[in-house]
């Protein structure tokens, strides 16, 4: 009577990056073995199918044991069971928390709840991301959200410290948390041309100019919500379009400054008042939850689409927003310049990011 026994003896935990990627993508051991075979691993390594199967199973067992530590990355650094070099630890963490932008785009602005998780089968079919990978990524989004939602200070910095993520990835998670908090509408048809990267850039602008941390760093409040007091103050800006004299003076200053500098000057003169009302009123309505939710819909419907219709170039829009924001400094009856510039800094950054096909 005989039996086969696979034995592995060693000190440093070996991490095969290809197998780790297959595990993260949600493939079973059998699927991973098949993919490795198609990749020509037998020829490269001079081994057998049985050894390849054993090697893959061994890696999968290691990753499954590591997963509980990856849920709280500092624990991975502190544990002694797995001897993993620091650069490998960083790789494990970064790749575990990396996500598919198509999936993030689908989930952006939705509540990270059990109800949303039940929809992942449909999301998987739409995005082409495997269902196991969808669930892992969703759980990562929810885990990060729960960890930082009550913490004070900048979201991205908190995420970076708690989950040991690279700065760029931490900023992307901060955008996901910000959208989950504010519940911005992102799923409407007229918003489908916008990518996850577009929305993430807009989130950075909004947090950078409108969050509690940006308005009063000494307060060190959480950055995941837009302060109600600031949104209430934005109503004061309506004077720019409600006061006919201010509106006329604003138009005169902007149109004079842009004469000969933009290709749509005639269209600007004809439509200035409607465009200005749209820009100001987007902020003036943000005291209501529904209008906060429709923020991006309003920017597209009331600003971007009319500018596209008049064939504004991105350069035209950039010049207009620059002069439009600066002009009220020369309006004697306007007393809210600091609030106006903070408001328009975020609005301008969002519009310029969103103004593409």
Q: Which string of DSSP letters, residue by residue, matches 207-274?
A: HHHHSHHHH-GGG--BSSS--HHHHHHGGGGGHHHHSHHHHHHHHHHHHHHHTTTSTTHHHHHHHHHH
Residue 89 forms part of a structural domain: no
How far is Cα 85 from Cα 15, in angstroms, rounded to an integer?
10
pLDDT given at position 10:
57
In the numeric block, the tokens 């969703």 are attached to 138
> CA triplet 99, 301, 115: central angle to 5 degrees?
40
Domain count, the chain: 3
**Is the domain of 26 the same as that of 116?**
no
pLDDT given at position 334:
92
Beta bridge partners of 222: 153
Residue 305: count of CB within 10 angstroms of its CB: 12
**Is the domain of 294 the same as that of 249?**
yes
Spell out the residues 6+ positions from residue 255 whose beta carbon is closer than 8 angstroms to its own: 265, 268, 269, 272
Please write the tens of the pLDDT for every residue from 233-289. 999 999 999 999 999 999 999 999 999 999 999 999 999 999 999 999 999 989 888
Please write the tens of the pLDDT for every residue from 60-94. 999 999 999 999 999 999 998 899 999 999 999 99
**Is the domain of 24 the same as that of 63?**
yes
Q: What is the mean pLDDT of residues 152-172?
A: 94
Residue 96 forms part of a structural domain: no
- Domain of residue 254: give its range: 228-354
Residue 321: count of CB within 10 angstroms of its CB: 20
Q: Which of 49, 82, 115 is the last residue of a domain?
A: 82
DSSP state at residue 14:
P
pLDDT given at position 269:
96
Residue 237 in tokens: 């800006």
Please write the tens of the pLDDT for every residue from 8-65. 555 688 899 999 999 999 999 999 999 999 988 888 877 889 999 999 999 999 999 9
- For residues 62 and 217, which has the higher predicted lDDT (pLDDT)? 62
Q: What is the mean pLDDT of residues 115-124?
A: 95
The torsion angles phi and psi of 12, rounded to 5 degrees, stand at -75, 130
**Is the domain of 159 the same as that of 119?**
yes
pLDDT given at position 1:
47
3-state secondary structure of 83: strand
3-state secondary structure of 151: coil
pLDDT confidence band for 139 (50 / 70 / 90): very high
- Taking Cα atoms as reference points, which of 351, 329, 350 lies closest to residue 340? 329
pLDDT given at position 151:
87
Spell out the residues 6+ positions from residue 317 whose beta carbon is closer than 8 angstroms to its own: 307, 351, 352, 355
**Is the domain of 234 the same as that of 214?**
no
**Is the domain of 207 the same as that of 245?**
no
Asked whether residue 217 carries a pLDDT value surpassing 80, the answer given is no
Residue 140 forms part of a structural domain: yes
Q: Which of 190, 219, 248 is the last residue of a domain?
A: 219
Residue 4 forms part of a structural domain: no
Cβ pair 238, 279 in contact under 8 A: no
pTM over 0.75: yes
Residue 37: count of CB within 10 angstroms of its CB: 14
**Is the domain of 134 the same as that of 214?**
yes
Please write the tens of the pLDDT for every residue from 299-344. 999 999 999 999 999 999 999 999 999 999 999 889 999 999 999 9
**Is the domain of 215 the same as that of 177?**
yes
Residue 10 forms part of a structural domain: no
Is 80 exposed, middle or buried, given 0-12, 13-18 or 19+ CB atoms closer than 10 A?
exposed
Asked whether residue 2 carries a pLDDT value surpassing 60, the answer given is no
3-state secondary structure of 222: strand
pLDDT given at position 6:
60
Residue 49 forms part of a structural domain: yes
**Is the domain of 312 the same as that of 255?**
yes
**Is the domain of 133 the same as that of 194?**
yes
Residue 11 forms part of a structural domain: no
Cβ pair 197, 168 in contact under 8 A: no
Task: Annotate 264-275 with DSSP letters as a single string.
Answer: THHHHHHHHHHH
Residue 276 forms part of a structural domain: yes
Q: Which of 202, 219, 236 is the last residue of a domain?
A: 219
**Is the domain of 272 the same as that of 180?**
no
> CA triplet 47, 35, 127: central angle to 5 degrees?
160
- Asked whether the CA dihedral 29, 35, 41, 43 is positive or negative, the reply is positive
pLDDT given at position 226:
84
Q: What is the mean pLDDT of residues 93-120?
A: 95
**Is the domain of 326 the same as that of 261?**
yes
């Amino acid at each position: 009577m005989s039996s086969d026994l696979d034995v592995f003896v060693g000190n440093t935990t070996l991490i095969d990056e290809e197998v780790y990627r297959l595990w993260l993508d949600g493939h079973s051991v059998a699927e991973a073995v098949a993919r490795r075979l198609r990749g020509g691993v037998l020829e490269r390594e001079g081994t057998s199918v049985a050894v390849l199967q054993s090697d893959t199973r061994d890696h999968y067992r290691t990753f499954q044991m590591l997963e509980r530590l990856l849920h709280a990355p500092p624990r991975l650094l502190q544990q002694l069971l797995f001897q993993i070099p620091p650069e490998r630890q960083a790789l494990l963490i970064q790749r575990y928390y990396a996500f598919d932008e198509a999936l993030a785009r689908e989930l952006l602005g939705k509540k990270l709840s059990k109800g949303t998780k039940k929809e992942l089968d449909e999301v998987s079919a739409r995005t082409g991301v495997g269902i196991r990978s969808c669930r892992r990524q969703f759980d990562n989004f929810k885990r990060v959200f729960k960890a930082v939602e009550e913490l004070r200070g900048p979201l991205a910095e908190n995420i970076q410290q708690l989950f040991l993520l690279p700065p760029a990835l931490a900023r992307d998670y901060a955008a996901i948390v910000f959208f989950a908090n504010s519940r911005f509408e992102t799923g409407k048809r007229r918003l489908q041309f916008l990518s996850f990267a577009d929305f993430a850039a807009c989130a950075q602008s909004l947090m950078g100019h409108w969050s509690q941390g940006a308005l009063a760093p000494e307060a060190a409040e959480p950055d995941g919500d837009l302060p109600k007091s600031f949104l209430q103050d934005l109503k004061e800006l309506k004077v720019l379009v409600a006061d006919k004299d201010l509106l006329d003076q604003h138009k005169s200053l902007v149109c004079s400054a842009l004469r000969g500098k933009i290709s749509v000057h005639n269209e600007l003169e004809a439509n200035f008042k409607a465009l200005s009302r749209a820009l100001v009123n987007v902020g003036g309505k943000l005291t209501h939850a529904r209008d906060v939710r429709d923020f991006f819909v309003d920017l597209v419907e009331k600003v971007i689409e009319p500018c596209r219709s008049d064939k504004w170039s991105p350069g035209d829009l950039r010049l207009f927003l620059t002069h439009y924001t600066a002009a009220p400094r020369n309006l004697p009856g306007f007393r809210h310049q600091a609030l106006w510039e903070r408001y328009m800094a975020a609005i301008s950054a969002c519009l310029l990011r969103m103004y593409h096909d």
